[in-house]
Amino acid sequence: MTVTQIDDVREALRAAEHRTGLRFAAYLGPAIGPRRHFSERLHAALGDEVDRAVLIFVDSERRGLEIVTGPEARRRLPDEKCRLAAMSMTTVLGTGDLVGALVTGVWLLADQASRHL
């Protein structure tokens, strides 16, 4: 990823946080061990913010994607909403656009979460 692309992802995360009051985080890279377990450990590492946190994990090499939500975030982003965002992200990832997939996912999740303020 280029510096500009990293900035685009960071800006999307910041804007989503501002819009929803939730904590958004993204991790790009391979999982160490089972993907879901690794994603949940990354989410737990968000510490005091974990209850209101949304973690998007993407392993582009192994074509893996996970969205993990804390209890407060899950009330506004139930599993079916996360699945819809993941399906949209997967479509964009299929074109090779990692940054576009992340930004799409963040915006879709923020849109859904902001509807339940």
Residue 117 has pLDDT above 70, yes or no: no
CA nearest to 45, candidates 53, 35, 64, 74: 53
The percentage of residues in the chain with a pLDDT greater than 70, rounded to a whole number, is: 98
pLDDT by residue (tens digit) across 33-89? 999 999 999 999 999 999 999 999 998 778 789 999 999 999 999 999 999 999 999
CATH of 3-112, one of 3.30.70.520, 3.10.310.50, 3.30.420.40, 3.40.50.410: 3.10.310.50
Instruction: Please tell me the predicted confidence (pLDDT) of residue 53.
Output: 98
* Cβ atoms within 10 Å of 68's Cβ, excluding its own: 23
3-class DSSP assignment, residue 97: coil
CA distance 43 to 26: 10
Q: Where are the domains of the chain?
A: 3-112
Q: What is the percent of the chain with per-residue pLDDT over 90, rounded to a whole number? A: 87
Q: What is the average per-residue pLDDT within 18-39?
A: 95
Given a cut of 70, whether residue 20 has pLDDT beyond it is yes
